[in-house]
Amino acid sequence: MPTPASPPMNYLQAFGDKAEAIALLTWAMLVLSIAVVAIIALLTAAGVALRRSKLAVEDTGRAPIQRPSGGLSWITVGVAISTLALVGSMAWNAYTMAAINRPPRAPALTIEVIGHQWWWQFRYLSDDPTQIFDTANEAHIPTGAPVRILVRSEDVIHSFWIPALGDKLDLIPGQTNASWFEANRPGAYRGQCAEYCGRQHAHMALTVVAQTPEAFQAWRAAQLRPAQRATGDLETGEALFGARCGACHTVRGTLAGGVFGPDLTHLMSRGAIAADTLQNTTATLTGWIADPQRIKPGAKMPTLELPGTELTKIRSYLQSLK
């Protein structure tokens, strides 16, 4: 089971061609900004010190008003240097944005990213309808290959951002935006909604798990399979899940076919639940089923007030979805 990357997200460290171009530009802007602040501070301090040392105080105790020459040349030089720095940074920024606009080679796959309050839906697209499947909050990609993403929102404006792999991309209701990203080494890369989208905006995180192409294909094949048929005591849990939760959640291969919440067909293959708010353990899964509003107040998942026996059976069934 992959472990989500630990916060904080580091946008100065890159793990892909696109992110590396952005990180280089970010470092350059940071160095330029520090240099500008340092130069201005030194010139200001020097000007104050020199000005005070040259002033002659009259007998009245007041310094005379003087209008020394040469001040205009300092303004001219300063404006020229500032203009050169701004134009240079603007040109570099435009060059970088143009360079990362398109992937350097054909994408290995296309993922549709759908934003909800407050979770992420990932739909793996294909020309073959039998190869399309959904997952939630945790996306898997192969390393060394660009991945095309199409983003849209089901409610309000969100912003898809995985700083170690690429730039921000807004999800706007009624509009589909396209971009791409790439990971050059295996790992779990944390992402976050970067546009305030409501009460639980801070708890709308995600993880992108980059795997070797062989490991990714194995993961994809497993995700395409429907849920294993429940047997024994799990049959009761499946029936309870369908009655209590099936109107909102899907478990492929069962009667549960809701579209309002995450697809839970392979829930236990994910490292976290509740949009990367909680590690996917027995304790946290139990708490989330029992009272999601206590963990994420305002979330769309209601508190069902399940009896203890029903809660245990539903949890046991969900833990069989691997």
Q: 77-81, 111-115, 168-172: which has the minimum mean pLDDT?
A: 77-81
Residues 6+ apart with CB under 8 A from 204: 117, 118, 119, 120, 158, 192, 193, 197, 275
CA–CA distance, 206 with 247 (Å, rounded to integer)? 24
Above 70 in pLDDT, residue 282?
Answer: yes
Q: Work out the pLDDT band at 41, boundaries 50, 70, 90.
A: confident
Let me know: does 220 contact 135? Beta carbons within 8 Å: no
Q: Work out the pLDDT band at 57, boundaries 50, 70, 90.
A: low
Q: Work out the pLDDT band at 49, boundaries 50, 70, 90.
A: confident
Above 60 in pLDDT, residue 22?
Answer: yes
Q: Please tell me the predicted confidence (pLDDT) of residue 222.
A: 95
Q: Work out the pLDDT band at 5, boundaries 50, 70, 90.
A: very low
Above 70 in pLDDT, residue 8?
Answer: no
Higher pLDDT: 232 or 216? It is: 216
Above 70 in pLDDT, residue 130?
Answer: yes
Let me know: does 158 contact 170? Beta carbons within 8 Å: yes
Q: Please tell me the predicted confidence (pLDDT) of residue 6.
A: 45
Query: How is residue 177 written in tokens?
Result: 């935006």
Indicate yes or no: pTM above 0.95: no
Rounded average pLDDT over 217-222: 96
Q: 11-15, 205-209, 264-268, 296-300: which has the minimum mean pLDDT?
A: 11-15
Residues 6+ apart with CB under 8 A from 202: none
Q: Please tell me the predicted confidence (pLDDT) of residue 56.
A: 55
Above 70 in pLDDT, residue 188?
Answer: yes
Q: Please tell me the predicted confidence (pLDDT) of residue 43.
A: 79
